[in-house]
Amino acid sequence: VSLSDCAAMATAPVAAVVSVALPKGFGGEELKQLHCGISSAGDKFGCALVGGDITRWKGEERFAISVAMLSKPAANKPVRRSGAKVADTICVTGSLGGAGCGPPYKHLEFEPRVKEAIKIAHKVTVNAMIDISDGLASDLNRICQQSQVGAVINAEQIPISSQVLKNENPLNSALNDGEDFELLFTLSEKDCQRLLERWDGPIPITQIGAVTDTKKMQIKTANGRISDLKAKGYDHLK
């Protein structure tokens, strides 16, 4: 998840500091396996595990891991959520929905889009970006609020995961399931066309809508009807 946070700002991971609070009975061999897993995840992206802290709970059930990540901008500066501009094109990587469907479980085996974010930032100017952890609608709402803009997305253009196509409401899954850890970003229409024409990565990029000056989120259905889009994904404060 911390690596995905780096991707969300188009930054390259450099180092990680990890603190763990272990439950009673968590042995040395298990700790070695945990260390190996964390190190392996970071090594894949050139991110070294450089330190941290260890403590132990008195109980047998509590387990906590806290990761602090250091990263550097891939291009001139980190991409923030607050830079979306009216008339920008809205794009996403990969497919959305079905994180909890499985096995395999998408939200447990996802690949942080670090390489894709860096590649995109080198090809074009990205105005705003976020990783989709709480659902497309919720995370698009964060970009809109911090950029003080609105957005309209086209329901037919949203890349829905094959895992939810047979669900009762696959569109709702794509909008609100969350834990996709794909990139959601805005850029000028000109840069969008340039990016799509030159994109040769294995993970697809899809144009799904546009930034507006309405300061509200809307969705356009196949019949042309436009309605308000509500953020119904995960809320960390509820």
Locate the domains of the chain by residue range.
Answer: 2-73, 81-228
User: Per-residue pLDDT tens for 182-195?
Assistant: 999 999 999 999 99
Mean pLDDT value across residues 127-143: 96
| Longest Cα separation, the chain | 60
Of the candidate CATH numbers 3.20.20.370, 3.90.1200.10, 3.30.1330.10, 3.40.50.2000, the domain formed by 2-73 belongs to 3.30.1330.10
Q: How confident is the model at residue 135 (pLDDT cuts 50, 70, 90)?
A: very high
User: Per-residue pLDDT tens for 207-219?
Assistant: 999 999 999 999 9
User: Per-residue pLDDT tens for 70-95?
Assistant: 999 987 789 999 999 999 999 999 99
Q: Distance between CA atoms of 146 and 7, rounded to whole angstroms? A: 18
Tell me: pLDDT of 199 over 80. yes
pLDDT for 102: 65
Q: Give the whole-number percent of the chain exceeding pLDDT 70.
A: 95
pLDDT for 103: 64
Contact, 50 vs 17, CB < 8 A? yes
Kindly give the residue spans of alpha helices, DSSP state H, lying in the chain. 2-8, 28-43, 114-123, 136-147, 170-176, 189-198
- Cα dihedral angle (120, 205, 101, 178), rounded to 10 degrees? 60
Mean pLDDT value across residues 24-53: 91
Long-range contacts of 192-195 (CB under 8 A, 24+ apart): 192/89, 192/91, 192/124, 194/123, 194/124, 195/91, 195/120, 195/123, 195/124
Write the DSSP symbol of residue 139. Answer: H
pLDDT for 106: 72
Q: Distance between CA atoms of 93 and 136, rounded to whole angstroms? A: 11
CATH topology of domain 81-228: Phosphoribosyl-aminoimidazole Synthetase; Chain A, domain 2 (3.90.650)
Strand blocks (E) in 1-77: 11-22, 48-56, 64-73
